[in-house]
Structure 1
């Protein structure tokens, strides 16, 4: 996975811009919420210094591929979104999508809005052929979000979890969406 400098993006309600050190407090607070971390590490808070050896990202404000998500109206931090350049995978230029939202932001459509913007950026403007995302099979909220935006499940993997997480025995579902398929905006994303 290579570094992909994320551009700033604006949606109807969200300002998405690269994280910076001033975001550290918000990023650490996000990972202190057991509900937010439930499907990543079983709900344990992440240490302030992050978890460099974990299988999931713990941004601290210096990651060029991570975008802080703030509400236009109030400037309030609601989470982050990220795109990672996976290079050429099976003959297709591939990006990986990641996101994490504050519990208070769930159910308001912010996840869909941010993912939609990043997928459009990746497929329509950055030249990727496909975008992939991976989530635990039991994370029904994340799975519904991806499926609603046109992502298709393409497989299940069973990565090792250093600490048991409820539902990890069901694995993680890999999703993808391709350029030319139904785009997150509901129209073809073909050039």
Structure 2
């Protein structure tokens, strides 16, 4: 189950971002409560736009499982898929199921043209989710980082799914 991120969810975001392993491919460390608060404020501001995009709290049964993201990108009609799960919920298909629901929402309700996702090339778990929801590999690129994380030398990867591919059922996995 997912529900839109609310002001009362700062404590859940803080719990999620307190685990350095959850943030290994994003920051390489846990985030401070102040850093989480600043991100929460930006997320809440974006959610107030009313365009159907934004951030959702994810539950597995009644247990807080993580944060799902579908914020708008810089290009009209495009959004970026993201997910961050608590470690105890990894490998259970929860991110895949929730990502499919966000893709459905993005294409069928919001009317997006394209959704993309990016991660470090070495983040095999996140890449598996992208592939499982039918996103296709687009490119590997090598940003320049001031303080690169371990594995950064392998680059970042981008996957995407278009509205046309969604309508044609390319996202479905029958095997």
TM range (shorter): 0.7 to 0.9
SS across alignment from 1:143: helix
CA RMSD of aligned residues (A): 2.2
2:36 and 2:88 map into 1 onto residues whose CA distance is 24
* Equivalent residue, structure 1, for 2:158: 174
2:21 and 2:138 map into 1 onto residues whose CA distance is 27
Can you list the C-alpha shifts for 1:107-126, whole angstroms capped at 9, x where unaligned?
11110011000001111221
SS across alignment from 2:159: strand
How many residue pairs get aligned? The number is: 163
1:118 and 1:185 map into 2 onto residues whose CA distance is 14
Retained in 2: the 8 A contact 1:119–1:184? no
* Equivalent residue, structure 1, for 2:106: 122
1:157 and 1:99 map into 2 onto residues whose CA distance is 21
1:52 and 1:173 map into 2 onto residues whose CA distance is 28
1:159 and 1:52 map into 2 onto residues whose CA distance is 27
Retained in 1: the 8 A contact 2:132–2:173? no
TM-score (norm 2): 0.83
Q: Which runs of 5+ in 2 are unaligned?
A: 48-53
* Equivalent residue, structure 2, for 1:79: 66
Q: 1:27 aligns with which of 3, 13, 25?
A: 13
Retained in 1: the 8 A contact 2:3–2:57? yes
TM-score (norm 1): 0.77
Q: Report the alpha carbon displacement of residue 186 of structure 1 after superposing the two structures with TM.
A: 4.6
Q: Report the alpha carbon displacement of residue 183 of structure 1 after superposing the two structures with TM.
A: 4.7
Retained in 1: the 8 A contact 2:58–2:67? yes
Residue pairs, 1:1-191, within 5 angstroms: 14=1, 16-42=2-28, 44-50=29-35, 58-59=39-40, 62-63=44-45, 64=47, 65-71=54-60, 73-74=61-62, 76-86=63-73, 88=75, 93-181=77-165, 182-186=169-173
Q: Report the alpha carbon displacement of residue 161 of structure 1 after superposing the two structures with TM.
A: 2.9
The structure with more helix, counted as a fraction of residues: 2
Q: Which runs of 5+ in 1 are unaligned?
A: 1-13
Q: Post-superposition, which runs of at least 4 consecutive aligned residues in structure 1 deviate over 4 A? A: none
